[in-house]
Amino acid sequence: MLQAFSRTNRVLNEKKRFGKIVCFRDMKSNVDDAIKLFSCTNNIEEIVRPAFDDVKKEYIQLTKDFLKTYPSPFSVDELISEPEKKSFVLQFRDIIRKHTEIKIYDEFEEDDVDFPMSEQQFADFTSKYLDILDSVIQPAEPKDTNEGIVAEPPPTYGEEAGTLDDIDFCLELLHSDIINVAYIIELISDLDPYSDDYAEKRKHIIDTMIKDAEMRNKAKLIDGFIQKNVDEDKENFMKNKDKIDGSSDLEERLNNYVREEKEKALRLLSEKENVPLEALNKYISEYDYLQQERTDILQDVLKEQHLGLIKRRNKLKTLLDQLRTIIRTFNWD
């Protein structure tokens, strides 16, 4: 029995920390006895998740305390200092984890009136949470000292003592497998630029992407695609979005658009940083093939520019930051 449970309900990672077993016979007492026998513990709670009512109480209390400090998503906009932002991130991360946990229960209802935080509020706070992450991933340009040396932050230890850079944002909990390129194409194909609700549906597509950890980096890209292919070409969009065989050419058009915009971004980076475009393309190609960063490609190019050691390191960091942004924006799984 336990062997069957373990084979069909394996957990995976932070995103799937729990399994759910559906059983049509009352075997709880037998299962509890088996767990005590084979798990070397008498504490069933270490293995079997608590009852829904208990988790619900924890979630209600957690969100209630959180909302005392942050009454609305707009409260996050008033956070200026890094300690303030870090405090918000750590508190909301606890809510994200508990939200993920409670959603596995069949009894969970999104519109439960007992919940102090609605699902819309959760989504809005999530967007603010990810905005802070963006500021960590893409910080302001560092300023060199007279010697060209960028000041290093003091060493820190652990999330509580450290900066936002030290925090695990648990992004895997904020990505829905449903929200992928196929789903976005489906939403776009449903658009009718002549309808009264077009603006609302268009905004929904972008908002959906912004609130997803993995797709938000591509929201601006998709907004540009819609601008070019729908807003500025309404008649052609309506005429060609559906083929006679029921398929759509939207995916091909999107792929072409993404490729063109990616090439444009690499050209601009090449011109801005005075780095050969061939080197940047090679770096991207190697990453796509190996899923590894070949920094030696960039280092070899920078050596030829005869920069000082510090300036070369700073320029390498700038290039890597920009290339990582390009990868996050234009690479589709």
| pLDDT tens, residue by residue, 64-107 | 999 999 999 999 999 999 999 999 999 999 999 999 999 989 89
pLDDT reading at 231 higher than 60: yes
| Tens digit of each residue's pLDDT (9 = 90 or more) over 167-194 | 888 888 888 778 888 899 999 999 999 9
Residues 91, 166, single domain; the answer is yes
Q: Both 67 and 157 in a single domain?
A: yes
Together in a domain, 328 and 311: yes
The answer to whether position 253 is within a domain reads no
Q: Are residues 82 and 159 in the same domain?
A: yes
95 & 37 share domain: no
pLDDT band for position 10 (cuts 50, 70, 90)? low
Mapped to the 3 state alphabet, what secondary structure does the chain carry?
CHHHHHHHCCCCCCCCCCCCCCCCCCCHHHHHHHHHHHCCCCCHHHCCCCCHHHHHHHHHHHHHHHHHHCCCHHHHHHCCCHHHHHHHHHHHHHHHHHHHHHCCCCCCCCCCCCCCCCHHHHHHHHHHHHHHHHHHHCCCCCCCCCCCCCCCCCCCCHHHHCCHHHCCCCHHHHCCCCCCHHHHHHHHHCCCCCCCCHHHHHHHHHHHHHCCCCCHHHHHHHHHHHHHHHHCCHHHHHHHCCCCCCCCCHHHHHHHHHHHHHHHHHHHHHHHHCCCHHHHHHHHHHHHHHCCCCHHHHHHHHHCCCCCHHHHHHHHHHHHHHHHHHHHHHCCC
pLDDT at 28: 72
Lowest mean pLDDT among 8-12, 209-213, 296-300, 305-309: 8-12
- For residues 311 and 268, state if they share a domain: yes
Same domain (yes/no): 120, 233:
no
Residues 169 and 72 in one domain: yes
Q: Looking at residue 57, what is its pLDDT?
A: 97
Same domain for 56 and 169, yes or no, is: yes
- What is the pLDDT, as a whole number, of residue 149? 39
Residues 100 and 145 grouped into a single domain: yes
- 34 and 76 inside one domain: no
Domain around 22:
2-46
Q: Are residues 226 and 271 in the same domain?
A: no
- Residue 137 pLDDT greater than 80, yes or no: no
Q: Count structural domains, the chain.
A: 4
